[in-house]
Amino acid sequence: MDRVFNGLSPSSFSLFQGCQRKYFYKKVAKLPVDSDAVEDYSAFQIGKAFHQCLEDVKHELKDYPLAEVAKVCENYGVTEADSILMIFAMLGEYRKTHEKSGLRAIACEQVIDTPAFYGIVDVVLEEKDGSWWIGDMKTAATFYGLQEKTLQNHPQLNLYARHYADIAAKLKIDPDGYRGCRYRVTTKSKLIQKKTEGAKEYIDRMAAGIKSLDFIIPKDFMRPEEFFKSHQAALRHIEENSIKLDPEKFPQNFGNCTAYFRPCEYSSRCYGCNFTEGPKLEVVGNT
């Protein structure tokens, strides 16, 4: 029997903030998605394989072979040669950044489980002097400079930061050594392997365009208590209004219908028809 967690995870909190009605359909009523919903999980699986490789070796990638990467990829259904070689190239660039930071991973997939919150921290990183950071790992098609300015207000990071003492207690490390968060993002590559190109040449060409960045967010830059207050308000709303299964208690946010450039998979519930069946507007101009 699967365990039921009482706390609200960062991803569920983000879903609730984006559109309460979508949260209701997905998490409370657990309704099936529309028949025309786009469900391409390939990018998600690539990210999971990348994370698993790092977890398996606690971020120490020296002499980590391509054959091992391929095994991990197979477990996540990533079987295309291009994708496997890309992940290997991403790991190579990540290794450079990780070694340059001078940090070592002391825990991966660290669970925070309280009555009010549930989350899994990707990595806890330690300095040589024993001080430590909460690390969050991301893979992305690209990373814009504007995003850097928002990291200190990242909900997930702030919620993890709010629970630094819980992390310290579980790992038996000094809570006073907590210094803040590290946001590590590694970009992907869109390059296609040339017919005349061997695996090594292809990996090297991809690596030249891959970025692996480690953003340092000191604890004094963050506002964990404010984010936790919003998180708890969301949790109370969910607990108080989920029993009656009334969608009207969860307002719609029509500005979020095409978040991440994808139509909401519950469009028919709000519009009366699937997204692809919606009305087509007359357009003036070169289409």
3-state SS of the chain is: CCCCCCCECHHHHHHHHHCHHHHHHHHHCCCCCCCCCCCCCHHHHHHHHHHHHHHHCCCCCCCCCHHHHHHHHHHCCCCCHHHHHHHHHHHHHHHHHHHHHCCEEEEEEEEEECCCEEEEEEEEEECCCCCEEEEEEEEECCCCHHHHCCHHHCHHHHHHHHCHHHHHHHHCCCHHHEEEEEEEEEECCCCCCCCCCCHHHHHHHHHCCCCEEEEEEEHHHCCHHHHHHHHHHHHHHHHHHCCCCCHHHCCCCHHHCCHHHCCCCCHHHHHCCCHHHCCCCCCCCCC
> At residue 166, what is the residue type?
D
> At residue 72, what is the residue type?
V
* 193 to 80, 145, 196: CA distances (angstroms): 12, 28, 8
Query: Do the domain assignments include residue 82?
Result: yes
Instruction: Walk along the chain (287 residues) in steps of 10 and give the mean pLDDT of each run.
Output: 61 95 95 83 88 97 96 96 97 98 97 93 98 96 81 96 97 98 96 94 97 96 97 94 93 89 89 87 82
pLDDT at residue 145, rounded to an integer: 74
Is residue 69 domain-shared with residue 208, that is, in the same domain?
A: yes
Is residue 64 domain-shared with residue 146, that is, in the same domain?
A: yes
Query: Do the domain assignments include residue 87?
Result: yes
* 8 to 90, 238, 244: CA distances (angstroms): 32, 9, 19
Contact call for residues 263 and 275 (beta carbons, < 8 A): yes
Contact call for residues 86 and 189 (beta carbons, < 8 A): yes
Is residue 132 domain-shared with residue 186, that is, in the same domain?
A: yes
- Give the structural domain span for 252: 10-36+231-277
Is residue 58 domain-shared with residue 189, that is, in the same domain?
A: yes
The total domain count for the chain is 2
Strand partners, 125: 105, 133
Is residue 195 domain-shared with residue 148, that is, in the same domain?
A: yes
CA dihedral 62→68→74→80, nearest 10 degrees, is: 70
> At residue 277, what is the residue type?
E
The residue out of 222, 244, 268 marking a domain boundary is 222
Query: Do the domain assignments include residue 192?
Result: yes
Is residue 210 domain-shared with residue 255, that is, in the same domain?
A: no
Tokens 């190109």 found at: 197
pLDDT at residue 287, rounded to an integer: 59
Query: Do the domain assignments include residue 2?
Result: no
Is residue 69 domain-shared with residue 175, that is, in the same domain?
A: yes
| Rounded CA separation 212/204 (Å) | 15
Query: Do the domain assignments include residue 283?
Result: no
Is residue 200 domain-shared with residue 149, that is, in the same domain?
A: yes
Is residue 257 domain-shared with residue 206, that is, in the same domain?
A: no
Q: What is the pTM of this model?
A: 0.89
Query: Do the domain assignments include residue 108?
Result: yes
**Roughly how many angstroms between the first and final C-alpha of the chain, as a whole number?**
53
The residue out of 222, 240, 262 marking a domain boundary is 222
pLDDT at residue 138, rounded to an integer: 95
